[in-house]
Amino acid sequence: MNNKKDVIEMGWNLDNSYTKLPKSFYSEINLNPVPSPKLVILNYPLAKSLGLNSDELKSYDGVSILAGNKTIEEGAFIAQAYAGHQFGHFTMLGDGRALLIGEQITPDGKRYDIQLKGSGRTPYSRGGDGKAALGPMLREYIISEAMYGLGIPTTRSLAVVKTGEPVYRDSKKEGAILARVASSHIRFATFQYAANFGSVDDVKELADYSLKRHFSYVEDDENKYINLLKEVIKAHASLVSKWQSVGFIHGVMNTDNMTISGETIDYGPCAFMDTYNPDTVFSSIDTRGRYAYKNQPIMAEWNLCRFAETLLPLLNENQDEAIKIAQDAVSNFSSLYYSNWISKMRNKLGIFNEEAQDKAIIEDLLSMMEKYNEDYTNTFISLTFNKNKDKGMFIKEEFENWYNVWIERLKRQPQSEEEVHQLMKESNPSVIPRNHRVEEALDAADKGDFNVMGKLLDVISRPYEHSKDQEEYSKLPSPSSCPYRTFCGT
Ligand code: AMP
Ligand code: MG
């Protein structure tokens, strides 16, 4: 039963539909209190949209809940089981450092998982300590909120709480817990777990649960599982095209980090690209560039194949027929991805209608950006506002030729210059969470100053506003802060 005070005053309205799945899908987790939880940051607008009262969340009881020191519902904590491909290798995984406190039902009837990340060991922790350091949790908070501001499907961050105990990484760090909000934490790897370690009935139960939770609009026709597969393919074709359009590099596109809902999840070694280079990789562990920028659509398709395999017994009784159905569906990914991508890129260049040569216009621009080491975000901003064009690529004859072709192309559509400018403003962010800015905010936070992060969060929450106070944030890093490297498992 929900505790009355937490329900009425704090606004918690938790359900636990996941625990209706077979017991093998999760483990119940006992309270594992941390010594002295202290709220570091709370996401007020998100709390409000979840139906939570921020003042109450900041109270002793509220912070105790966000730290996993107190349950709202008796015995409700669970860690989810999953097993997936990490850099191509299949492994048993699961929430090794996270627990689900429940599913919050919002005032408008939506359902969101509230998960505490960094909350201690679980049966899936393997050799890990189950904990998280403050820096990486704040980093996830910043990047996920930036993605939300950019209009890209993502898990969100409700709060970060310091635990009051140290965690040991390359050095001693402050421990922290992130309260993560997701429309669910069902991953491709959850299906892989069911298919590899469970029965066909387990996969079916998970598929039915996923359909009900995420794709309730899908027709319950003769084979709804084909529709499930098609919906997930659609969601990822759209998601990855959005990543590409803003230069976001996820960094660890393992199947445990791919959600059925199509939300970006697990902000470990991810980062936004400054200089345009399709080979960009930030993750220190991705030595072969498996998850480089240019490979993201390919890896999404690879992951979708792994997901499709888990559904085979549900797609058709005849295995050959089932494989054909799965292949047909997955083979659609590249054209779906391409149509999403080209429509976003057209928008970035102010193009409303479709012409066959648009692809060449876009690709020629990208090639020049690569050749002249131009900044991805700022190039589009320069084109949008017709400014900063007195150096680099912009003074080359090659660019002038391209520019003329582009302007001619814009003239072959009925929209006015003003409409083109408006579309470009809406399609090109002027601020992304640039790596040097994120590092600066995290360094300050580490020293107890949260103002730098607060300002950054404010600016990146409105990336399409193009206001004067944001200009500072579109400046490039000094050459000494390149190349940027990110580290996961922290
Ligand atoms: P990730 O790289 O964050 O996607 O994590 C991969 C797997 O390792 C997941 O099963 C995580 O729960 C687990 N994991 C990551 N860090 C830790 C940690 N410090 N302690 C225990 N498990 C962890
Ligand atoms: Mg993960």
Residue of higher predicted confidence among 489 and 300? 300
252 pLDDT band, cuts 50/70/90, is: very high
Summary mean pLDDT of the chain:
95
pLDDT at 480 over 90: no
What's the confidence (pLDDT) of residue 219?
Answer: 78
265 & 147 share domain: no
Ligand 1 centroid distance, CA of 17 (Å): 24
* Residue 243 resides in a domain: yes
Residue 487 has pLDDT above 70, yes or no: no
The tokens for 221 are 């026709």
- At residue 477, the pLDDT reads 84
- Beta bridge partner(s), residue 272: 248
Half-sphere exposure of 100 (CA within 13 A, CB side): 26
Give the pLDDT confidence score for residue 69 in this predicted structure.
Answer: 96
Ligand nearest to the backbone CA of 86: 1
With 70 as the cut, is the pLDDT of residue 303 above it?
Answer: yes
Q: Which of 125, 160, 182 is the last residue of a domain?
A: 182
Last residue of a domain, one of 137, 153, 182: 182
End-to-end CA distance of the chain: 35
**Model confidence at 488: pLDDT above 70:** no
Residues 138 and 241 in one domain: no
Max CA pair span of the chain? 71
Q: Are residues 222 and 315 in the same domain?
A: yes
Q: How many other CB atoms are found less than 10 A from the CB of residue 231?
A: 20
User: Do 109 and 28 share a structural domain?
Assistant: yes
- For residues 184 and 328, what is the distance between their CA atoms, to the nearest angstrom? 27
Ligand 1: centre distance to CA 43 (Å): 24
Residues, the chain = 490
Residue 95 CA to ligand 1 center (angstroms) comes to 7
- What is this structure's pTM? 0.97
pLDDT in the model for residue 28: 96
Q: Has 256 been annotated as catalytic? A: yes
Q: Which residues share a beta bridge with 117?
A: 98, 178
Torsional sign, CA 94, 98, 99, 104: negative
Percentage of the chain exceeding pLDDT 90: 91
Give residue 489 CA to ligand 1 midpoint distance, Å. Answer: 6
Determine how many CB atoms are found less than 10 A away from the CB of residue 40.
21
Q: Which of 256, 267, 303, 486 to mutate to test the pocket of ligand 1 (most atoms within 8 A of CB)?
A: 256
Mean pLDDT, residues 155-161 taken together: 98
Averaged over 181-192, what is the pLDDT?
98
> pLDDT of 259-283, one tens digit each?
999 999 999 999 999 999 999 999 9
Query: Is residue 481's pLDDT more than 70?
Result: no
| pLDDT band at residue 388 using 50, 70 and 90 as cut-offs | confident
> What pLDDT, on the 0 to 100 scale, is given for residue 75?
61
> Does residue 77 sit within a domain?
yes
**Pair 193, 296 in one domain:** yes
Residues 318 and 200 in one domain: yes
421 inside domain: no
Give the number of domains in the chain.
2
Residue 457 lies in a domain: no
Looking at the fold, whether 16 and 151 belong to one and the same domain comes out as: yes
Residue nearest to atom 16 of ligand 1 (CA): 489
Query: Is residue 87 in some structural domain?
Result: yes
Atom of ligand 1 nearest to the CA of 167: 19
**Residue 427 counted as domain residue:** no
User: What atom of ligand 1 comes closest to residue 131's alpha carbon?
Assistant: 19
Distance CA 357, CA 334 (A): 19
Residue 490 has pLDDT above 80, yes or no: no
pLDDT at 479: 73
- Closest ligand to the CA of 137: 1
Q: Are strands 156-168 and 248-249 parallel, antiparallel or unpaired?
A: unpaired
| Distances from the Cα of 201 to the Cα of 22, 204, 265, 313, 325, angstroms | 10, 5, 27, 10, 20
Query: H/E element holding 62?
Result: helix 60-66
Same domain, yes or no: 174 and 224:
no
User: Tell me, what's the pLDDT at 280?
Assistant: 96
Per-residue confidence (pLDDT) for residue 164, from 0 to 100: 98
Q: Structure tokens of 153? A: 């499907």
Name the burial class of residue 458, with classes exposed (0-12), middle (13-18) and buried (19+) by CB atoms within 10 angstroms of its CB: exposed
State both tokens at 6.
Answer: 């937490």
Q: Is the pLDDT of residue 179 over 60?
A: yes
When pLDDT is averaged across residues 434-455 and rounded to a whole number, the result is 96
Cα separation, 19 vs 7, in Å, equals 21
For residue 383, is it within any domain? no
H-helix or E-strand spanning residue 28:
strand 26-28
> Do both 93 and 61 map to the same domain?
yes
Q: Write the CB contacts of 470 (distance below 8 Å, at least 6 apart in sequence).
A: 430, 431, 459, 462
Are residue 160 and residue 208 in the same domain, yes or no?
A: no
Give per-residue pLDDT as tens, 10-37: 999 999 999 999 999 999 999 899 999 9
Q: Which of 320, 341, 362 is the last residue of a domain?
A: 341
Strand partners, 119: 131
Q: Write down the H helix ranges in 118-223.
A: 134-150, 188-197, 200-214
Taking CA atoms only, the protein residue closest to ligand 1 atom 8 is 96
Is 60 exceeded by the pLDDT of residue 149? Answer: yes
Mean per-residue pLDDT, 422-444? 97
**Ion ligand 2: residues, Cβ under 5 Å:** 256-257, 266
- pLDDT at position 221: 79
Query: Are 73 and 219 found together in one domain?
Result: no
Residue 153 and residue 242 in one domain: no
Position 453 in a domain: no
Spacing of C-alpha 482 from chain mean position: 24
Q: What CA–CA distance (Å, rounded) separates 287 from 270?
A: 15
Can you read off the two tokens belonging to residue 288?
């072969």
Region 227-244: mean pLDDT is 98
Report DSSP letters for 261-303, one per residue.
T--B---SS-EE-SB--TT---BTT-TT-TT-GGGHHHHHHHH
pLDDT by residue (tens digit) across 31-44? Answer: 899 999 999 999 99
pLDDT tens digit sequence for 394-422? 999 999 999 999 999 999 999 999 999 99
Q: What is the mean pLDDT of residues 165-181?
A: 97
Weakest-pLDDT range from 151-155, 234-238, 388-392, 433-437: 388-392
Question: Domain containing 225: what range?
Answer: 188-341
Q: Does the pLDDT of residue 1 top 50, yes or no? A: no
